[in-house]
Amino acid sequence: MAMVPVIPVPNPLPGVDFDAEAEDRDEFHINKLATDFTEAEESIRHNVYPESDDEDKERVPSGGASRGTPIVHGDGTMYKGQSFYNGIAFKECVLDYALVSDRDRISFKCVGAKGKCMWKVYAACLHNESMWRITLYTNKHICVPNGECEMFKVPVIARLFLDKIREEPEYYMPLKMEQTIMEKWKISVTRGQCQAARRKALAWIELEYDTQFERLRDYGAEILEANKGSVVEVETVKNEAGQDVFKRFYVCFDALRRTWKQSCRPLIGVDGCFLKEKIKGQLLVALGRDADNAIYPMAWCVVQVENTDNWSWFVNRLKIDLELGDGDGYIMVSDRQKDLIKAVELELPKIEHRKCVRHIYGNLKKRHPDKKRLKKLLWDLAWCYNSKDYEEALERIHAYNSKVVYSHRRYRRFGLWSDLEV
């Protein structure tokens, strides 16, 4: 369940008149609730909180589950008159102070120092309001924190580390979580608690992915509604149970497409990268260069794997949406992914397909890490503007490292960057 940001009630300004009748009515409810208040909850020490009956049933926080939206925690301050959206928000505030339930009142009392500690807090949902409010708060401790907190349970730990585990799942392992809790809050937790909390956080994240994929078609429809003329393609396949499961997803915004046609260079860069976490798959992207030589996005898609079928589908969509025809008059730059090369040959047979120098140098560096001059020689080759200079630069690379083999015939067929093999 989500912790909602605390909304403080501002102190009245001198000289401002208020509705006396409403003020008296509010005071009546506060006094009545305080009179009825009984300390029925279990006696606790400082930093030790009673267990909630429904805490283990808590689901992923609705306000903090979206990717990129952190869960908001308070700064540990409380004061009389402080307001909350619900009782859960109040309990989260108490937790932040030490380091949620649908009843109409919740209280916490510290009985440290052999019951003589005076710290206590009481909040209730008033009859004439829809929000919860702290109505009684005594901020006075005479006990010493003992490094224990019974309220610091598995769901609470999972909530605190949810975004960290989402961003760095391999870094925030149980040992790291245990150390972080001790360093940041001086609270002692067990390794088992951290293991269970990490599993719960991963389960929340997985549920989040499933929920988002269920809304994929809604997302596509929203794009088409808000961006007239755009193109969205959602393809699914049937699994063994007869259910539609994700296959690939394509987006091309009309405004980007039109601007590229009107004011950008006839240059298209395409590449793919791996997606992490549960969804896996690959992200394929088409980029251009604008008049300021800055990167300009045009279209993107998500597929399960880089293969000839998916690359052909993506290149075909680009050909249609960007009106490339057979590719004549356009230049494409990419790495040497064999399925992409085949797809471009099939869909855009007349496009000038060049290979990225940085990708080629990256491959050469892996195979020949001790050849320090190779980078300079390779870029000298890339900056050649005629056949004579090109061949001389190619000979210098071969003389420096004979293991880098080239073929003049392949150069004439595939272009500059297909000559180099590693």
By CB atoms closer than 10 A (0-12, 13-18, 19+), residue 165 is: buried
Cβ–Cβ < 8 Å for 249, 300? no
CA pair distance 323, 167, nearest whole angstrom: 39
369-411 per-position pLDDT tens digit: 888 888 888 888 888 989 999 889 888 888 887 776 543 334 4
> Cα–chain-centroid distance for residue 69?
7
Q: What is the pLDDT of residue 72?
A: 40
CA pair distance 282, 128, nearest whole angstrom: 54
Domain ranges of the chain: 1-151, 153-214, 227-355, 360-422
Cβ–Cβ < 8 Å for 266, 296? no
Cβ–Cβ < 8 Å for 265, 289? yes
CA pair distance 406, 392, nearest whole angstrom: 13
- Report CA-CA distances (Å) from 233 to 116, 183, 186: 67, 49, 51
Percent of the residues in the chain that have a pLDDT greater than 90, as a whole number: 34
**pTM exceeds 0.85, yes or no:** no
With residue 238 as reference, give the H or E element that holds it: strand 231-238
220-274 per-position pLDDT tens digit: 999 999 999 999 999 988 888 888 888 999 999 999 999 999 989 999 999 999 9
